[in-house]
């Protein structure tokens, strides 16, 4: 640890950095104008892909903007400006929109590829800190990301300026997202491996037990038959159905204990004597997350799945939902 390190000085430095970047964003917000709306319109009208390009620290910001656009309903990808001049320019077509990021607006690599991109017919949005730069003048739409000062005390490391560029990219992504009516389900489809994707894309029918794995006995079955079904299917319960296959009850391990407490010798009783009537059920098209919420609220370990006519289709155990990672 450096001999001059001071926790108090570190906190003061952090607060100065954050305040500088906050002020930069406030100034950016205050000067937003019709150019931003024009840029959003270009992205919404794009028939191809949005290509985001930059170099160095700005290149990292460009990559993040492309990822945010792609995950919120605007097809996009990142092209490194240096790689573009050595062949990756072939990824860009006339139907695309190029977002070029360069704080100075004078990056040689970007200025090399921009005329080629314009010549092929693609549209250009530039994000720079210099409205009078060559990159700004060549663009269809220019967005001003200038800041009064960097947070870096040497004013050398891009800090407040990269934050401003990133925030502009986020603003464009969100504006397009809202204009498209992009919702949670759409977001989940582009994030199927994440927790949100599992919660919004997994339905009860995907995780319920059915067919030979579903414990079922008729309501006139003897109690020992229900116990055999519970043991064989390992759900801690069995559904009890009428002659039409509609559930009239559910018999669980807990029901068995309560029946023994009331009756003592239960060997000659039918399952209907101890079942819980009017069991809670859910439809197969409901989200598994909804089933989990109901089961958690009502403190249920199992729940039946029925169709619109009330016929039994399957059953859920809380362990099924845990295995599907929706709880």
Express each pLDDT in 28-80 by its tens digit.
Answer: 999 999 999 999 999 999 999 999 999 999 999 999 999 999 888 888 999 99
Q: Which residue has the tokens 């089933």?
A: 291
pLDDT for 174 equals: 93
Determine the length of the chain. Answer: 327
3's tokens:
């001999």
Cβ–Cβ < 8 Å for 60, 87? no
Nearest Cα neighbor of 203 from 286, 283, 304, 282 is 286
pLDDT for 268 equals: 78
Q: pLDDT tens-digit profile of 259-301?
A: 888 888 887 788 888 888 988 889 888 888 888 888 888 888 8
pLDDT tier at 200, thresholds 50, 70, 90: low
Q: Calculate the CA 325 to chain-centre distance.
A: 15
Q: pLDDT tens-digit profile of 263-273?
A: 888 877 888 88
H or E, element range at 248: strand 247-252
H or E, element range at 128: strand 123-128
* Residues whose CB falls within 8 Å of the CB of residue 320, separated by 6 or more in sequence, listed in order: 207, 208, 209
Question: Beta-carbon neighbour count of residue 122 at 10 Å?
Answer: 21
Q: Are strands 247-252 and 276-277 parallel, antiparallel or unpaired?
A: antiparallel
Stated pTM of the model? 0.65
What's the rounded Cα separation, in Å, for the pair 218 and 248? 9
Q: pLDDT tens-digit profile of 147-166?
A: 999 998 888 789 999 999 99
pLDDT for 61 equals: 96
pLDDT tier at 114, thresholds 50, 70, 90: confident
Question: Beta-carbon neighbour count of residue 275 at 10 Å?
Answer: 24
pLDDT at residue 227 greater than cutoff 80: yes
Angle between helix 253-263 and 223-233 (nearest 10):
150
Give me the percent of the chain exceeding a pLDDT of 70.
91
């Amino acid at each position: 640890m450096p001999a001059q390190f001071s926790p108090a000085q570190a906190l003061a430095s952090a607060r100065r950095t954050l305040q500088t970047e906050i002020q930069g964003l406030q100034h950016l917000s205050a000067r937003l104008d019709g150019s931003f709306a024009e840029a959003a319109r270009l992205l919404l009208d794009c028939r191809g892909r949005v290509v985001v390009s930059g170099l160095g620290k700005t290149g990292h910001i460009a990559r993040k903007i492309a990822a945010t656009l792609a995950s919120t309903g605007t097809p996009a990808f990142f092209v490194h400006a240096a790689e573009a001049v050595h062949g990756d320019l072939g990824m860009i077509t006339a139907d695309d929109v190029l977002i070029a990021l360069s704080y100075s607006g004078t990056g040689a690599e970007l200025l090399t590829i921009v005329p080629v991109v314009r010549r092929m017919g693609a549209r250009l949005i530039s994000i720079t800190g210099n409205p009078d730069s060559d990159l700004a003048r060549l663009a269809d739409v220019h967005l001003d990301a200038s800041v009064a000062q960097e947070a870096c005390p040497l004013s050398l490391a891009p800090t407040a300026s990269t934050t401003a560029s990133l925030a502009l990219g986020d603003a464009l992504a969100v504006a397009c997202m809202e204009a498209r009516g992009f919702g949670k389900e759409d977001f989940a489809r582009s994030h199927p491996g994440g927790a949100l994707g599992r919660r919004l894309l997994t339905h009860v029918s995907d995780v319920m037990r059915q067919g030979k794995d579903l414990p079922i006995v008729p309501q006139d079955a003897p109690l020992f038959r229900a116990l055999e079904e519970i043991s064989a299917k390992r759900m801690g319960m069995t559904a009890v159905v009428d002659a039409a296959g509609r559930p009239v009850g559910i018999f669980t391990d807990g029901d068995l204990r309560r029946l023994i407490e009331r009756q003592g010798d239960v060997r000659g009783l039918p399952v209907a004597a101890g079942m819980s009537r009017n069991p809670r059920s859910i439809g197969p098209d409901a989200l598994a997350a909804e089933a989990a919420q109901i089961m958690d609220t009502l403190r249920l370990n199992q729940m039946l799945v029925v169709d619109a006519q009330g016929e039994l289709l399957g059953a859920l155990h809380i362990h099924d939902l845990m295995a599907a990672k929706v709880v």
